[in-house]
């Protein structure tokens, strides 16, 4: 079949891209939600430009009933049309009795639909107010492709238009949308709220919320009023959010060199919300715990999370909202940028939190996904809505953000910023592609940025740099793709794939004669030979940890580096060292014993992020250890963790910072759970039991550790108590803490109760899949949980928001036995699980890595643990 793009009745070439014969300019949209019956009615007048004569107009609509269709031109001619729906393509075809001539037309449609419970499109959120009455809100969540569930529209990010929204609501309720209200009037017992017209923007950014809402006092940044909103009785939880909202908006106006593009900014906390937050221009929506917090009761980590989310969404007001990617393959331009910028803004606001260290943790998580054979390039083809949803992953957010940071650190912060300013100015109110970004930065910096960056964006994976001595006065540096698993041999007849090469910005530090010198250069070839001074002592490749790659030192060089621990390496270099060592171990390039030996050198470590890596590696070992080795393993954990806990003590010291408090909490938690330290467990329990009813009077950084330990060691009475605390929680953070603590209990009947709570309405669907994911991480609960998930799969698919289900399935990596792995594979295959992109393959490959590694290393691990067995605790210093 030859598709004639000029014939409007032909199917378009791509079933998921709308034909461009007719383009929307402005939507006059009116919606009347019925909160009690979970229904809505609407009408829309769309000013369109017909570019080519056509009798059929194709646009998106899903689960809507459409009626009274007309098209009117500017000379008073009106045509009545009919509508056919294509459910699979999520479209409607409007057919008119004769072609619409090129020019301006107004398309008018009436429609109605139902508010769903899947937290997407136009949906209903539910809460119980302080009088015990059940109340509802109407909420929208349109990204990526769900505006079409609320009104017929051209639902693609490059089909930007202006929106003039009218909401018809119960007069007792408040309505918020992207812009300020122009007018409010009461007609026939209904309140009619008309909002100002928006800027030219994508459909996925349109938003409104209707319900009983209470707002904070406004704070002004320039002329922009910022307000926080929530359901009643929560305004006392708005102070921190308000501060970071204002600080970050101010920072971004300055950094981007451009005023905020909206007329006001509302940040709205929603009781049921599928994601963390959503950057609707001027009406940013959040789950409650991402916006509302009690500063005095919150832990350092909770405060940081909140600041990051608020700052991230504000960064999008320019990156994403003003300038938008042309299609979902380029979503990294939104998400990687917002992730990058969020850290910069928080750095300006609270430098003492060391927010730039986020790039280290982002890098670690991106390197672990991108080391999979089933990884994908950051920019990756997107066909259908599922693929679009699948793009919002670690690679988009974290690999994207850290390769931007790598570029920024390589060319310099000022040039980078000026490049961004140029990009935003050039593409404001329009769309852009990756190449546009490189063009702006490249022009400003006078550098061939595409050549440097394209490998990081358009190739899957990243290099492993191997460094060895080459004669007495040289080093040899080589690059090769890092892989955890040897890839399956290519199918016969296929030529083996040429190995990828990257342009690797290298920061090399050479220590010689007691002095350190740093060098910056690009490794573009497979190998490179470097001269070293005569009095060479040691070297660090990837100094500062900005490079998106791993480093493998030959044994002698590794020993020289290790010998500098702990004090002669920066915390960043320590982080990189331990992170790479652990990855090399998982990839079979280093024995487990060498990694575990390395951890002995970190007993004096006091950096929370470095410890975070070590504790995470212990957590993974705990998933795959044989039951008979578990107690020896616990003693190994004690051996590594106890010295730091003894030194830090259980009580905060005068004047100490939040980071130390958080570290103390993390270490004590590990000691009491993974470490099974009876003394720590007893102390945690007695401290917890001594707390007053409201849980106050204790360092908020210690409380999460106590709760974890009490849950981990807990029985029915503790469980009852924590369920109660969850239900009566005074803050969203407390609610979350007690909810997820339920996943740590080990008695089977309690696990069964937690499982039931995920489907019986006790736990919101925004949290239930994450709770199941946490249960998969509990060694005592994982099999029961997996059985439960399999049994209730259809129900979960119907009830849970897709993003939750997808993330829950990521937790199958915990099912780290050969039998369970087989079962998981069968389930994924039989159900043809597809989370978009390559996510399903990635989950399975991660599991494969862990199981294969267990088979390979379990003997060595057992041998290593022998001195830690009960009988021979005195021998443990032999390591």
Q: What is the binding site for ligand BES (CB under 6 A)? A: 143-144, 275-279, 308-309, 312-313, 316, 335, 338, 392
Q: Please report how close the Cβ of residue 315 comes to Zn ion at its closest, in angstroms.
A: 8
Among 193, 306, 338, 406, binds Zn ion (CB under 5 A): 338
Structure tokens at 332: 């990294």
Nearer to ligand BES, 328 or 745 (CB): 328
Nearer to ligand BES, 343 or 710 (CB): 343
Between the alpha carbon of residue 90 and those of residues 155, 571, 715, the distances in Å are: 10, 51, 50
The answer to whether 86 touches 92, Cβ cutoff 8 Å, is yes
Q: Please report how close the Cβ of residue 279 comes to ligand BES at its closest, in angstroms.
A: 5
Nearer to ligand BES, 253 or 279 (CB): 279
DSSP 575-609: HHHHHHHHHHHHTTSS-HHHHHHHHHTTTT---HH
Nearer to ligand BES, 308 or 542 (CB): 308
Residues in contact with Zn ion, total (CB under 5 A)? 2
| Binding partner selected for residue 392 from Zn ion, ligand BES, none, CB under the kind-specific 5 to 8 Å limit | ligand BES
The answer to whether 463 touches 504, Cβ cutoff 8 Å, is yes
Per DSSP (E only), the strands in 416-531 are 430-432, 463-469, 474-481, 504-512, 515-523, 527-531
Residues forming beta bridges with residue 136, ordered by sequence position: 126
Query: Which residues touch 131 (CB under 8 Å, ≥6 apart)?
Result: none
The two beta strands, 64-73 and 78-86, are antiparallel
Q: Please report how close the Cβ of residue 221 comes to Zn ion at its closest, in angstroms.
A: 20
| Binding partner selected for residue 275 from ligand BES, Zn ion, none, CB under the kind-specific 5 to 8 Å limit | ligand BES
Nearer to ligand BES, 339 or 542 (CB): 339
Identify the DSSP state of 747.
Answer: S
Nearer to ligand BES, 207 or 585 (CB): 207
DSSP 359-399: HHHHHHHHHHHHTSTT---SS----SHHHHHHTSSHIIIII
Q: Is 143 in the site for Zn ion (CB under 5 A)?
A: no
Give the range of 330-338, 344-352, 489-497, 691-699 binding Zn ion by CB under 5 A.
330-338
DSSP-based three-state secondary structure for 475 = strand
Q: Please report how close the Cβ of residue 275 comes to Zn ion at its closest, in angstroms.
A: 9
The two beta strands, 527-531 and 474-481, are antiparallel
Give the range of 212-220, 327-335, 413-421, 651-659 binding Zn ion by CB under 5 A.
327-335
Nearer to Zn ion, 335 or 718 (CB): 335
If residue 861 lies in a helix (H) or strand (E), which one and from where to where?
helix 839-865
Nearer to ligand BES, 241 or 867 (CB): 241
The answer to whether 90 touches 145, Cβ cutoff 8 Å, is yes
Q: Please report how close the Cβ of residue 574 comes to Zn ion at its closest, in angstroms.
A: 30
Identify the DSSP state of 275.
Answer: S
Q: Please report how close the Cβ of residue 321 comes to Zn ion at its closest, in angstroms.
A: 11
CA distance 140 to 142: 6
Structure tokens at 137: 């809100």
For Zn ion, the nearest residue by Cβ is 338
The answer to whether 667 touches 702, Cβ cutoff 8 Å, is no
The answer to whether 287 touches 733, Cβ cutoff 8 Å, is no
Give the range of 14-22, 328-336, 385-393, 562-570 binding Zn ion by CB under 5 A.
328-336
Please state the length of the chain: 879
CA distance 135 to 128: 6
Indicate the burial class of 783 (C-beta count within 10 angstroms; 0-12, 13-18, 19 or more).
Answer: middle
Between the alpha carbon of residue 252 and those of residues 263, 317, 341, 631, 741, the distances in Å are: 16, 9, 8, 51, 37
Q: Please report how close the Cβ of residue 318 comes to Zn ion at its closest, in angstroms.
A: 12
Query: Which residues touch 745 (CB under 8 Å, ≥6 apart)?
Result: 711, 712, 714, 718, 719, 751, 754
Nearer to Zn ion, 335 or 639 (CB): 335
Q: Is 335 in the site for Zn ion (CB under 5 A)?
A: yes
The answer to whether 343 touches 356, Cβ cutoff 8 Å, is yes
- Using the Cα atoms of residue 169, residue 170, residue 171 and residue 173 in order, give the sign of their dihedral: negative
Whether residue 316 is annotated as binding a ligand: the answer is yes
Question: Out of 90, 143, 304, 313, which one is annotated catalytic?
Answer: 313
Q: Please report how close the Cβ of residue 248 comes to ligand BES at its closest, in angstroms.
A: 12
CA distance 467 to 541: 8
Nearer to ligand BES, 143 or 629 (CB): 143
CA distance 847 to 814: 7
Q: Please report how close the Cβ of residue 268 comes to ligand BES at its closest, in angstroms.
A: 14
Q: Is 325 in the site for Zn ion (CB under 5 A)?
A: no
Report angle CA 226, 231, 236 to the nearest 5 degrees: 65
Q: Please report how close the Cβ of residue 869 comes to Zn ion at its closest, in angstroms.
A: 48
Q: What number of CA atoms fall less than 13 Å from residue 750's CA on the CB side?
A: 23
Give the range of 99-107, 335-343, 347-355, 658-666 binding Zn ion by CB under 5 A.
335-343
DSSP 109-174: EEEEEE-BSSSSEEEEEEEE-TTS-EEEEEEEE-TTTTGGGTS-B--STTS-BEEEEEEEE-TTSE
Query: Which residues touch 541 (CB under 8 Å, ≥6 apart)?
Result: 465, 467, 477, 506, 507, 508, 551, 553
- Decide if 821 is catalytic: no
| Binding partner selected for residue 278 from Zn ion, ligand BES, none, CB under the kind-specific 5 to 8 Å limit | ligand BES
| Binding partner selected for residue 510 from ligand BES, Zn ion, none, CB under the kind-specific 5 to 8 Å limit | none
Other C-beta atoms closer than 10 Å to the C-beta of 82 total: 12
Q: Please report how close the Cβ of residue 813 comes to ligand BES at its closest, in angstroms.
A: 19
Nearer to Zn ion, 279 or 605 (CB): 279
CA distance 47 to 106: 4
Structure tokens at 604: 């004096």
- Detail the residues annotated as belonging to a binding site for Zn(2+): 312, 316, 335
Q: Please identify every residue annotated as catalytic.
A: 313
Binding site for Zn ion (CB under 5 A): 335, 338
- Going by the annotation, the residues of the binding site are 312, 316, 335
């Amino acid at each position: 079949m030859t598709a004639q793009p000029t014939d409007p009745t032909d199917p378009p070439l791509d079933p998921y891209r709308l034909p461009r014969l007719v383009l929307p300019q402005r939507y006059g949209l009116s919606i009347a939600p019925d909160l009690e019956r979970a229904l809505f009615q609407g009408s829309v007048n769309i000013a369109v430009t017909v570019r080519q004569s056509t009798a059929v107009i194709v646009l998106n609509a899903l689960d809507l009933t459409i009626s009274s269709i007309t098209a009117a031109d500017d000379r008073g001619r009106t045509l009545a049309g009919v509508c056919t729906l294509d459910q699979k393509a999520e479209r409607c075809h409007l057919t008119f009795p004769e072609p619409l001539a090129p020019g301006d037309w107004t398309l008018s449609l009436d429609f109605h639909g139902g508010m769903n419970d899947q937290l997407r499109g136009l949906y209903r959120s539910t809460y119980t107010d302080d009088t015990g009455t059940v109340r509802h809100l109407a909420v929208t969540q349109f990204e990526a492709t769900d505006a079409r569930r609320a009104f017929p529209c051209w639902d693609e990010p490059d089909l930007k238009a202006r929106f003039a929204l009218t909401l018809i609501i119960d007069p007792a309720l408040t309505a918020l949308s992207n812009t300020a209200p122009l007018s409010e009037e009461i007609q026939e017992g209904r309140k009619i709220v008309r909002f100002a017209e928006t800027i030219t923007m994508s459909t996925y950014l349109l938003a409104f919320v209707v319900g009983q809402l209470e707002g904070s006092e406004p704070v002004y940044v320039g002329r922009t009023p910022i307000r926080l909103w929530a359901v009643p009785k929560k305004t006392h939880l708005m102070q921190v959010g308000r501060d970071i909202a204002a600080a970050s908006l101010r920072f971004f106006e300055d950094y981007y060199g451009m005023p905020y593009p909206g007329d006001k900014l509302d940040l709205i906390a929603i009781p049921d919300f599928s994601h963390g937050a959503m950057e609707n221009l001027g009406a940013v929506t959040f789950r409650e715990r991402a916006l509302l917090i009690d500063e005095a009761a919150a832990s350092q980590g909770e405060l940081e999370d909140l600041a990051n989310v608020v700052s991230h969404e504000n960064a999008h007001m320019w990156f994403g909202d003003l300038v938008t990617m042309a299609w979902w393959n380029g979503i990294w331009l939104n998400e990687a940028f917002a992730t990058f910028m969020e850290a910069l803004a928080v750095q300006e606001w609270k430098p003492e939190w060391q927010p730039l260290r986020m790039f280290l943790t982002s890098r670690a998580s991106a390197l672990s996904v991108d080391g999979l054979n089933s990884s994908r390039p950051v920019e990756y083809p997107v066909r259908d809505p599922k693929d679009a949803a699948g793009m919002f992953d670690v690679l988009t957010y974290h690999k994207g953000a850290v390769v931007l940071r790598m570029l920024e650190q390589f060319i310099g912060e000022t040039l980078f910023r000026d490049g961004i300013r140029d990009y935003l100015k050039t593409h404001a109110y329009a769309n852009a592609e990756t190449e546009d970004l490189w063009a702006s930065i490249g022009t400003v910096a006078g550098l061939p940025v595409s050549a440097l960056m394209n490998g990081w964006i358009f190739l899957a994976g990243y290099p492993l740099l191997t460094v060895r001595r080459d004669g007495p006065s040289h080093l040899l540096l080589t690059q090769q793709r890092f892989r955890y698993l040897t890839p399956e041999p290519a199918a016969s007849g296929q030529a083996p794939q040429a190995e990828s090469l990257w342009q690797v910005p290298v920061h090399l530090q050479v220590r010689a004669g007691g002095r350190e010198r740093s060098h910056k250069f690009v490794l573009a070839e497979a190998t490179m030979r470097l001269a070293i001074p005569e009095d060479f002592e040691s070297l660090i490749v990837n100094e500062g940890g900005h490079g998106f790659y791993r480093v493998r030192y030959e044994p002698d060089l590794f020993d020289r580096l290790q010998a500098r621990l702990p004090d002669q390496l920066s915390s960043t270099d320590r982080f990189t060292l331990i992170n790479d060592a652990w990855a090399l171990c998982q990839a079979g390039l280093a024995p487990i014993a060498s990694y575990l030996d390395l951890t002995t050198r970190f007993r004096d470590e006091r950096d929370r992020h470095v410890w975070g890596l070590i504790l995470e590696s212990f957590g993974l070992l705990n998933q795959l250890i044989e039951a008979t080795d578990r107690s020896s393993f616990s003693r190994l954990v004690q051996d590594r963790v106890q010295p730091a806990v003894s030194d830090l003590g259980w009580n905060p010291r005068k004047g100490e910072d939040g980071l130390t408090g958080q570290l103390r909490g993390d270490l004590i938690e590990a000691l009491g759970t993974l470490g099974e330290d009876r003394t720590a467990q007893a102390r945690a329990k007695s401290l917890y039991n001594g707390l007053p009813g409201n849980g106050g009077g204790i360092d908020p950084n210690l409380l999460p550790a106590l709760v974890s330990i009490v849950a981990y060691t807990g029985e029915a009475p503790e469980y009852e108590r924590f369920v109660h605390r969850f239900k009566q929680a005074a803050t969203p953070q407390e609610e979350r803490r007690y909810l997820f603590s339920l996943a740590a209990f080990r008695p089977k009947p309690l696990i069964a109760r937690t499982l039931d709570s995920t489907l019986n309405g006790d736990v919101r669907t925004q949290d239930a899949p994450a709770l199941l994911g946490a249960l998969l991480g509990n060694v005592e609960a994982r099999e029961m949980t997996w059985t439960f998930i399999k049994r209730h799969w259809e129900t979960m698919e119907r009830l849970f928001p897709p993003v939750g289900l997808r993330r829950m399935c990521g937790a199958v990596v915990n099912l780290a036995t050969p039998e369970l792995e087989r079962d998981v594979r069968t389930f994924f295959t039989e159900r043809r699980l597809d989370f978009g992109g390559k996510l399903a393959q990635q989950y399975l490959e991660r599991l494969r890595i862990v199981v294969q590694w267990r088979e390979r290393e379990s003997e060595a691990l057992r041998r290593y643990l022998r001195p830690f067995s009960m009988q021979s605790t005195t021998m443990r210093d032999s390591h």
